[in-house]
Chains A and B, each alone.
Chain A
Amino acid sequence: MTTYETIIGLEVHTELQTDSKIFCSCSTRFGQQPNTQCCPVCLGLPGALPVLNRQVAELALRLCLATDCSITPVTRFDRKNYFYPDLPKAYQISQLHEPIGRNGQLCLKDFPERVVRIHEIHMEEDAGKLTHDPWSDQSLVDYNRCGVPLLEIVSEPDLRSAEEALDYLATLRKLLMFLGVSDCRMEQGSLRADVNVSVRKTGTQALGTRTEMKNMNSFKAIGRAIIHESQRQIDLLNEGGMILQETRRWDENKEMSFAMRSKENAQDYRYFPDPDLPPVKLDKAWIDRVRQNMPERPEQKQSRYQHEWRLSAYEAEQLTDEPFLASLLEQTIACGANPADVSSWILGEWLQACRSGNCDASDLSVQPESLAKLLEMIRNNVITRTTARSVFTYMLDHQIDPESYVREHGLAMVNDLDDLKQMVASVLEASEQSVKDYLAGKEKAKTYLIGQVMRKSRGKANPAHVNKLVEELLEQHRQP
């Protein structure tokens, strides 16, 4: 039987993290009432003119440099002409002839041998949002999103499987977030991909006819769609059929793709240079400045955490999963905390609190200085980790200084050996069976007894002392 190879190229659209839109001063905030973040420019009213947001060029440059693109010395905007109600000027300001960056690359994480070439990166404006009104069977248009800055990152057809495509997307997403280019909130549509899929007989060179699935905004759907689409094409070829170059729509519920009406396939966008926008010259000084202010990339952070702070590879990877965790780590260490302590607390208690609160890591309002103080109290034997946990839980809802809180609530660790000895003795007395079990060789019984002592002290007992005292007193029981 013939075997086939799947060829995938991705066009990723990402919304930039700017305060204002690409060509006007309207806010980019998500989730506002319809048409409340609009002006003559983004509504395309007659006579209104675009002026480029400097930050858009800066962020685009950042991504281009981070993906080793060659920077176009004089970059220009073009108009892409087509009629659709989400496009109030009936053209999208985009870049065709002189995109800001070309010929870049991105290395995958789990497929180290696969270097995906980036064909180009260009700047453009987002369109408005259409919804269907079932009552009137008409469409409703909200232009709030219209003019939000986008970068389109076009890969070469270098990906060979759904796994590779998802790796590429995850790697790119992480990079975009760490560079401060985009928050990549997929549920808000700030990262979307057009997926191009074709298949060819294994061992052949020529590319097959490709189909395109537009505007996909979930990793899961993209993975499923690639698998289905490549299988559909292979089945079709095996039956002696032909692949049509077309745009298909992936239906997530039905787990199937459908060809769009052919009208949407044959387009003639009549691109031409936008006469309202002068070119942008990206001189060496500007590029150098962006390069110097380039935020650290996730993999750079990862290796620095391992070498500078002696964190394990696993920890370093977890902590660079998203920019918030990395910055929490770095800021807390900057406040004087021990790196290993911070790492273990973030990956332990912090993330646990998010899981139980069902929120994002960045939603917890504990400040790095407070966390550092808390961790230092553990390290200096001022409080036990158990106490620290309950203080931390309290800190999630209250603005407190952990040190004064511990002082005021008498939560400091009990270190007095006499007090502790008494406490241990009374626990052993009350737990005859466990003592017997221990003496009979059941090590577990000791752990239980230590737990009982800690409980009795409401978590405040110095655990090292307790451990030692429990052992000592148990041994005394052994003697007749």
Chain B
Amino acid sequence: MQLTELSAWQLGDLIRKKEIRALDAAEAVVAEIKTKNEKLNAFLSYDEAVIRSQAEGVQEKLDAGQVLSPLAGVPMAVKDNISTRLYPTTCASDMLQGYLPPYDATVIENLQQAGAVITGKTNMDEFAMGCSTETSFRGPALNPWNQGHTPGGSSGGSAAAVAAGLSWYALGSDTGGSIRQPSAYCNLTGLKPSYGLVSRYGLIAYASSLDQIGPMARSARDCAAVMDCITSQDSKDSTSSDHSTAFKASCYEATTGFNISLKGRKIALPEQALAQVDPAVRRAVSETAAVFKDLGADIVPFDLPYQDASVPVYYLIACAEASGNLARYDGVQYGRQPDNGHEMDLTAFYEHNRSAGFGKEVKRRLMLGTFVLSSGYYDAWYLKALKMRRMIIDSYNEMMRGIDAVLMPVTPSAAPPLYQHEDDPLARYISDTFTVDANLTGRPAIAFPCGINAGGLPVGAQLTGHLLADDILLGLVHAYQTQTSHHEKRPSSARKGEPA
């Protein structure tokens, strides 16, 4: 039995039943990381000693009879924009090199309570601004399915780690698709939870009204188990939902207590979306619809509202919020600080630190965000986008009445080769067209594997649901995964012990 080929849930089961020790799982994953990470560049930081001591700590609690969670002792990875006291948290930016947060994000506290073993911090696009990890200060992560291709982004390191067997599951963050797109590119199941379900306290903000932390794993059932650990009503996050605590139980139940019956469920399929994507993606998503139909669901037509506005509205809002959120990086308190700061005047000091610390894409978005908020442009761009956001929210509320979920592609194609659109930011932005609505509306959305294309790269499908009905999405995908095996496919490079 190869431990790294099990699902997180299965591994947790073995540990809980004392068939293996938490340390065995930790050793297995350390060995994998050591052989493969240098090539894949999935982790920005990990520490063998820290991994082992966490595993031993969890084992002690388990031996003492403490009930932690179904995932106790299962090693997992965390995107490098989630604050941890165990590891530096850099957002893959030069700006935060060496920054060791003096506090843990709420999700980290929750995970530790649940007995998680945190292996390290995963690569990402700088400050989560990108869709390929190409904007990482430490260079891109590679797609374990084909190393000439991107694993996606911005949670690309998390996706690469889980797909390559370097971790059983990982946390990502999703502002405009950053969990779902890399999940699709790496054959994973990834959930962008309802806004407010998972605390953002400690998540280094890109765009506060859109950001949400979520699980990336090998099945809906694993995602549900992770949601069960990380969801909480957090008094430290004013945008945290009052329903979080009540929600916890139902999330896990959706994939364990009962197999959701799809009789009477309505799943909408927007034809217009299928018309815009690669044939392989179109075929895979259509086949997915057929599976849901076989399972008893009704497939109904749907029109994505204001589809051409989604990407502009998303980028206008995200960049505006980012220009505020990233203003704090000035080289005074933490992170990258100059040796010769005292020789500069105040403005030069700020300009020097910020220009040297931020990469090209971050600067581009800060310029855009600053522009749309600046005097004379606010109403025409930013306020206009906020109004469009209301129209999009209202339309979804209206159109999804009586519908459980909307099924569509995650991306127009499978993972592109690395650096495909390096000098064409607009082309990159436009590829977010199917993912940003969930963030604009706060709705949950889940990406899941639905096939492999002719080039051997995975293709993903996506379901968008109702606010705080994440459990329904997990249940639907779980039902799908009981009937299909796309999610069980692993890249050949994921085989144990083989260098990536």
Contact = CB atoms under 8 A, between A and B. Distances in A.
The reply to whether A and B meet directly (CB within 8 Å) is yes
Interface of A: 40, 43-52, 79, 81, 83, 85, 88-91, 136, 138, 141, 263, 268, 270-272, 275-278
A91 B321 CA distance: 12
B333 A88 contact: yes
A47 B327 contact: no
Interface in B256-301: none
Nearest to B200: A49
Nearest 5 A/B pairs, CB to CB: A90-B327, A275-B209, A270-B373, A275-B208, A46-B204
Given A46-B83, A46-B101, A270 B238 contact: no
Given A47-B203, A48-B201, A268-B374, A138 B342 contact: yes
Given A43-B333, A45-B101, A138-B342, A276 B238 contact: yes
Contacts of A79: 324
A270 B96 CA distance: 25
B85 to A, nearest CB: 12
A51 B328 contact: no
Given A47-B83, A138-B342, A270-B374, A276 B208 contact: yes
B83 A89 contact: no
Contact of A83 (B91, B103, B327): B327
B66 interface: no
Contacts of A43: 333
A138 B350 CA distance: 15
Interface residues on B, range: 35 or more
Given A46-B96, A79-B324, A83-B330, A51 B204 contact: no
B88 to A, nearest CB: 12
Given A40-B103, A270-B373, A275-B321, A47 B333 contact: no
A48 B234 CA distance: 12
B298 to A, nearest CB: 36
Interface string B172-205: 0000000000000000000000000000111111
Given A46-B99, A88-B328, A90-B327, 15 more contacts: A40-B103, A45-B101, A45-B103, A45-B333, A51-B238, A83-B350, A88-B332, A88-B333, A141-B332, A263-B347, A270-B378, A271-B373, A275-B321, A276-B205, A276-B239
A49 B101 contact: no
A47 B101 contact: yes
A270 B207 CA distance: 16
Most chain B CB atoms below 10 A, which of A40, A49, A90: A49
A272 B382 contact: yes
Nearest to A91: B324
Contacts of A275: 207-209, 239, 321
Contacts of B382: 272
21 contacts: A45-B333, A46-B204, A46-B328, A47-B201, A47-B203, A48-B201, A51-B237, A51-B238, A79-B324, A88-B333, A90-B324, A91-B327, A138-B342, A270-B374, A270-B375, A272-B324, A275-B208, A275-B209, A276-B205, A276-B208, A278-B239
B346 interface: yes
Contact of B238 (A44, A47, A50, A81): A50
Contacts of A40: 102-103
B395 interface: no
Interface in B337-367: 342, 346-347, 350
A49 B237 contact: yes
B166 to A, nearest CB: 25
Interface string B307-343: 0000000000000110110011010111000000010
Given A46-B204, A81-B324, A275-B209, A51 B235 contact: yes
A44 B330 CA distance: 12
Most chain A CB atoms below 10 A, which of B83, B236, B346: B236
A81 B209 CA distance: 18
B320 A272 contact: yes
A471 to B, nearest CB: 77
A49 B103 contact: no
Contact of B330 (A45, A49, A90, A263): A90
B10 interface: no
Contacts of B413: none
Interface string B78-105: 0000110000010100001001011101
Contact of A89 (B96, B238, B327): B327
Contact of A49 (B91, B238, B327): B238
B370 interface: yes
Nearest to A79: B324
Contacts of A48: 103, 201-202
Contacts of B346: 85
A43 B101 CA distance: 12
B332 A85 contact: yes
Nearest to B203: A47
Interface of B: 82-83, 89, 91, 96, 99, 101-103, 105, 200-205, 207-209, 235-239, 320-321, 323-324, 327-328, 330, 332-334, 342, 346-347, 350, 370, 373-375, 378, 382
A391 to B, nearest CB: 53
A98 to B, nearest CB: 14
B244 to A, nearest CB: 15
A83 B323 CA distance: 12
A204 B324 CA distance: 43
Contacts of A81: 323-324, 327, 373
Contacts of B330: 83, 90
B328 A90 contact: yes
Contacts of A270: 323-324, 370, 373-375, 378
B288 to A, nearest CB: 34
A316 B374 CA distance: 53
Contacts of B89: 46
A51 B208 contact: no
Contacts of A276: 205, 208, 238-239
Nearest to A269: B375
Nearest to B235: A51
A274 B158 CA distance: 30
B314 to A, nearest CB: 14
A79 B327 CA distance: 12
A83 B328 CA distance: 8
Nearest to B321: A275
Contacts of A44: 328, 333
A91 B369 CA distance: 15
A87 to B, nearest CB: 9
Contacts of B327: 81, 83, 89-91
A328 B67 CA distance: 58
A271 B323 CA distance: 11
A130 to B, nearest CB: 11
Contacts of A46: 83, 89, 91, 96, 99, 101, 204-205, 328, 334
A25 to B, nearest CB: 10
Nearest to A268: B375
Nearest to A273: B386
Given A275-B321, A277-B238, A45 B102 contact: yes
Contacts of B370: 270
A271 B375 CA distance: 9
Contact of B328 (A89, A138, A277): A89
Nearest to A82: B327
A81 B346 CA distance: 16
Contacts of B342: 136, 138
Nearest to B317: A275
Contacts of B236: 49, 51
B347 to A, nearest CB: 8
Contacts of A52: 238
A51 B201 CA distance: 11
Given A85-B346, A268-B374, A278-B239, A47 B202 contact: yes
Contact of B201 (A49, A136, A141, A277): A49
Contacts of A277: 238
Contacts of A278: 238-239
Contact of A47 (B205, B323, B324, B350): B205
Nearest to B377: A270
